[in-house]
């Protein structure tokens, strides 16, 4: 993607300011690099990446690019292992995040007359409060539920006539199933779902959308770069517009770090353009997507990325075959009678790797037949034959947070 002149000017000044901070994060990271020699996009692309490990090593506040009195809030990304990452925000950062989030709601067609039920978590985690700030900035009514307590969620949804549901895809699915089970669909006024922070397949999307009777929007973001709300899809398309006045976007080959041409799938790398508390240069998100070339028919000037295909670290290798969860979803989506939920278990038994795929199937499906069809489809698309075990609907766990579907039990 071509960097605009404005973006280049901002980035260059930002780098100069950052390396001038005594003992600052980038003063150390870019030590030995002549930043005055950065003359164009090509030079910028030679700068080293910033990775989550760098951020972790700066715990607690080593990332701060402003004096402590300018920091008004911190958030933290949940490291699955070891030290968490702490991201400091200034007053402007908090405001800028709300501006971006309000823009997301606008793109989703949310208006001040909407009532927005927010189910993502609050606290150190960036989700809930981001949804709320964006909603309030837009002027809609925020209903800050936070996660869990499905009975209360549904009661409030009915009593307050919530029109917009903000949730992870797995919690949206859980609520949709619960609404159907209780037969309360006619008391629900939802018209839109704003779904964040999880990669999800087309089949799941269709189920949530049809069971809840809502239009669905995918919101993108990560704690290290504000939080959710740095982009969303529009009414015209499923690809997400990224607010390029706040972030500069690159897609790189996760193995080599080389920039990939627009349209090719790789790792999303982000450079913040306006952040004060913790600006990031070429931050590796580990999210996989591609830049969607060309203009969107909605007329938006903001560039687009596709729905997140997966995480670079979700990739598993079994018998020499690389696979991503998104590919497994494609296999399941292609088979009639298979539902959207699955689990892939990888075990090491008697000296060899075994992949077992549990798939929820429709009640009237022929399980024996599906076993064969799914295994064949898997082999054709991914290059490996798993042991397929069809299970009944709702047999696999749903989660209020991110649902893990691939379990590598080999190590």
With CB under 5 A as the contact rule, which of the stretches 64-72, 121-129, 212-220, 231-239 interacts with Zn ion?
231-239
Beta bridge partner(s), residue 226? 222
- Residues 18, 296, 331, 338: which binds Zn ion (CB under 5 A)? 296
Phi, psi of 273 (to 5 degrees): -110, -20
User: 341-379 burial by CB neighbour count: b if 16+ within 10 A, else e?
Assistant: bbbbbbeeeeeebbbbbbbbbeeebeeeebbebbbebbe
Q: Which is nearer to Zn ion, 50 or 100 (CB)?
A: 100
- Rule CB under 5 A: say whether 108 interacts with Zn ion: no
User: 11-28 burial by CB neighbour count: b if 16+ within 10 A, else e?
Assistant: bbebbeebbeeeebbbee
Contact (CB, 8 A) for 52 and 284: yes
- Residues 47, 86, 234, 406: which binds Zn ion (CB under 5 A)? 234
Find the shortest distance in angstroms from Cβ 241 to Zn ion. Answer: 6
Find the shortest distance in angstroms from Cβ 164 to Zn ion. Answer: 19
- Residues 72, 94, 124, 298: which binds Zn ion (CB under 5 A)? 298
Contact (CB, 8 A) for 38 and 18: no
Q: What is the residue whose two structure tokens read 């260059």?
A: 12
With CB under 5 A as the contact rule, which of the stretches 226-234, 287-295, 333-341, 391-399 interacts with Zn ion?
226-234
- For residues 184 to 223, the per-residue mask of contacts with Zn ion, x marking binding by CB under 5 A and - elsewhere, is ----------------------------------------
User: How distant, in Å, are the alpha carbons of 70, 190, 208 from that of 176?
Assistant: 43, 11, 6
- Rule CB under 5 A: say whether 64 interacts with Zn ion: no
Find the shortest distance in angstroms from Cβ 58 to Zn ion. Answer: 36
Q: Which is nearer to Zn ion, 76 or 300 (CB)?
A: 300
- Rule CB under 5 A: say whether 238 interacts with Zn ion: no
User: Which residue from 308, 399, 394, 396 is spatially nearest to 356, judged by alpha carbons?
Assistant: 396
- Rule CB under 5 A: say whether 323 interacts with Zn ion: no
Q: Which two tokens stand for residue 84?
A: 């968490």
Q: Which is nearer to Zn ion, 298 or 334 (CB)?
A: 298
Q: How many residues bind Zn ion (CB under 5 A)?
A: 5
Residues 347-366 interacting with Zn ion (rule: CB under 5 A): none
User: How distant, in Å, are the alpha carbons of 24, 84, 238, 258 from that of 62?
Assistant: 7, 13, 38, 28
Q: Which is nearer to Zn ion, 22 or 294 (CB)?
A: 294
Contacting residues for 110 by C-beta, under 8 A, at least 6 apart: 116, 135, 138, 140, 164, 192, 194
Q: Which is nearer to Zn ion, 221 or 386 (CB)?
A: 221
Positions that interact with Zn ion (CB under 5 A): 234, 236, 296, 298, 300
């Amino acid at each position: 993607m071509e960097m605009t002149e404005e973006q280049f000017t901002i980035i260059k000044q930002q780098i100069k300011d950052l390396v001038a901070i005594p003992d600052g994060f980038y003063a150390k990271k870019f030590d030995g690099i002549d930043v005055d020699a950065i003359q164009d996009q090509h030079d910028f692309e030679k700068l080293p990446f910033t990775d989550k490990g760098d951020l972790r090593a700066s715990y607690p506040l080593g990332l701060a690019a402003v004096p402590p009195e300018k920091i008004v809030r911190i958030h933290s990304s949940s490291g699955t292992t070891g030290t968490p990452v702490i991201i400091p925000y200034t007053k402007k950062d908090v405001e800028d995040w709300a501006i971006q989030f309000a823009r997301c709601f606008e793109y989703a067609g949310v208006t001040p007359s909407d009532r927005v039920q927010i189910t993502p978590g609050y606290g150190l985690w960036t989700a809930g409060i981001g949804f709320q700030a964006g909603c309030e900035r837009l002027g809609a009514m925020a209903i800050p539920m936070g996660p869990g307590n499905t009975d209360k969620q549904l009661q409030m949804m009915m009593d307050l006539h919530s029109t917009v549901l903000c949730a992870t895809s797995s919690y949206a699915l859980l609520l949709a199933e619960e609404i159907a089970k209780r037969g309360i669909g006619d008391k629900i006024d939802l018209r839109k779902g704003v779904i964040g922070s999880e990669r999800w397949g087309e089949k799941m999307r269709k189920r949530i959308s049809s069971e809840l009777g809502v239009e669905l929007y995918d919101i993108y973001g990560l704690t290290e770069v504000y939080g959710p709300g740095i982009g969303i899809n529009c009414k015209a398309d499923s690809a997400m517009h990224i607010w390029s006045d706040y972030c500069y976007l690159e897609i790189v080959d996760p193995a080599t770090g080389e920039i990939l041409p627009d349209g090719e799938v790789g790792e999303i790398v982000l450079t913040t353009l306006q952040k004060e508390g913790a600006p990031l240069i070429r931050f590796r998100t580990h999210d996989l997507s591609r830049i969607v070339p060309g203009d969107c028919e909605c007329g938006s000037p903001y560039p687009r990325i596709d729905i997140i295909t997966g995480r670079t670290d979700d990739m598993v290798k079994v018998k020499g075959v690389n696979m991503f969860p998104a590919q497994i979803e494609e296999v399941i989506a292609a088979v009639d009678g298979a539902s959207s939920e699955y689990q892939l278990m990888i075990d090491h038994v008697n000296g060899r790797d075994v992949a077992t795929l549990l798939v929820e199937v429709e009640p009237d499906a022929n399980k024996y037949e599906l076993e064969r069809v799914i295994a064949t489809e898997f082999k054709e698309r991914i290059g490996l034959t798993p042991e397929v075990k069809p299970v009944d609907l709702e047999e696999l766990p749903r989660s209020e947070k991110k649902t893990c579907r691939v379990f590598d039990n080999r190590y």
